[in-house]
Structure 1
């Protein structure tokens, strides 16, 4: 990349962080807002660059091999949710994610597709993070998936780094830290997903529920700061952190279809409008 182009992108990234400071609030990550403490990335390509530093931050190690996003979904149990009500393949996918491969399809709203293309071009492909597939053929060859367990000094899994790449190009689509966290005042934990970015991150708190057919529904609804939903955390040059609740809402429905195949419907909304639909089919390896 030419120095001029690199400087232009650095100015863009800095202005983006200033924007989130303008619409957000200062976050005390060692106190009141400790629930927003999560992995961040240093300058440059994100990809999997953040994993070792995240492991160091908890005094532990990063362990490659067969792992699950959540080793035991029962940690989410509470009023309105019981992991034992889930269909067996749904639970097995989350507890043994490395044993599954994924195919994906995408469909953008015509209104939001140009914005998706702009984000992918300016940020996604360059940073190797949050590269939402814009064209259906982008994911036509499938998605390669790897889970890396990030453990603390006692060996407990704090996060699972879920790395997803386009099989055709080996470029990162998503590089996220998956864990479980209870929000202040919540009656039970949520799935906590963090996508590290340079000097910050995007975080999503997903509230779990079950359907009568054993499906798992994970949703990040609208609501006030401090409740389930999407957040952007941005650090300033002086090290202070600022956080804002983003008007992005997601819902995942993980279910077993009539042929016994495990599938996921993923809907992303910007405010009240649907921006993107993704569909995944998951199959066991071997």
Structure 2
């Protein structure tokens, strides 16, 4: 007899197959081709499998490993990485060097649903386990960056694993890269969170603010626009765009401290806000 958790996972994948559309990851929807987990519990082995898929290996998580090899990979009409504050660029290009303190605040309307998702999926599969209570992040987050290299040794993505410092519990494990959507005039920041037989993906459009900060956002749109997608790869591949929208504002405050305001919305309603204080290690 299948375990209750297996039935839950199978049921959720069937739901997304029914509500999504058939996609061809080797053809027209290649932009949705992203890593998956080989097991229900998401560990770090997916990064090596993704590197092997590109004919390469994972690099050393050294002191200068970053989410992107250079912010210039996002350059295009309306975006010039040279206009960013040096601290903002350094965080994305040398992420390992930065220490994070986190505060979280849930909307009372969405907190019960977030708690259910966290208990039934997030903590069990060790993925997308958003902190539900302020004390869970009181001691901050630890992070580990593992470059994913192709056969030429070039970074095609970076695996970023974040854990709660107080408990060691995994929160996120995702592949970060730059990827251009169909018909787009420049690259978006692409984040893929592997799951068993699928993944959750987010495409975020970058903008430089007037003070040299970085704004990453996903708004309402059509299939193929910036936004959030769920991909289920079970014999045939299906994908659904979901009404989940995010914004990240990475900026330097008047005291010279690098901070990030992160908002996650369901439709137009704000579900959760997170605030990060980022400090460069000595």
TM-score normalized with structure 1 length: 0.96
Aligned residue number for residue 24 of structure 2: 28
CA contact (8 A) 1:61 1:150 kept: yes
Check if 1:62 corresponds to 2:58.
Answer: yes
Alpha-carbon shift at residue 47 of structure 1 (Å): 2.7
TM-score normalized with structure 2 length: 0.98
Aligned residue number for residue 8 of structure 1: 4
- Selected match of 1:116 from 109, 114, 117: 114
Alpha-carbon shift at residue 49 of structure 1 (Å): 2.7
Structure 2 gap segments, 5+ residues each: none
Q: CA-atom RMSD, angstroms? A: 0.9
Question: Deviation string for 1:123-177 (max 9, x for gaps)?
Answer: 1111110000111111001100110000001001011000100001111100010
CA contact (8 A) 2:40 2:125 kept: yes
Partner Cα separation in structure 1 for residue 148 and residue 98 of structure 2:
20
Partner Cα separation in structure 1 for residue 213 and residue 68 of structure 2:
16
Say how many residue pairs are matched. Answer: 280
Alpha-carbon shift at residue 219 of structure 1 (Å): 0.3
Partner Cα separation in structure 1 for residue 62 and residue 84 of structure 2:
25
CA contact (8 A) 2:205 2:217 kept: yes
Alpha-carbon shift at residue 206 of structure 1 (Å): 0.4
Structure 1 gap segments, 5+ residues each: none
- Counterpart of 1:50 in 2: which secondary structure? helix
Alpha-carbon shift at residue 44 of structure 1 (Å): 2.6
CA contact (8 A) 1:202 1:232 kept: yes
Moved over 6 A (4+): none
Aligned residue number for residue 276 of structure 1: 272
Aligned residue number for residue 259 of structure 2: 263
- Superposition pairs for residues 114-263 of structure 1, below 5 Å? 114-236=112-234, 239-263=235-259
Alpha-carbon shift at residue 192 of structure 1 (Å): 0.4
Aligned residue number for residue 98 of structure 1: 96
CA contact (8 A) 1:47 1:172 kept: no
Alpha-carbon shift at residue 235 of structure 1 (Å): 1.8
Alpha-carbon shift at residue 50 of structure 1 (Å): 1.0
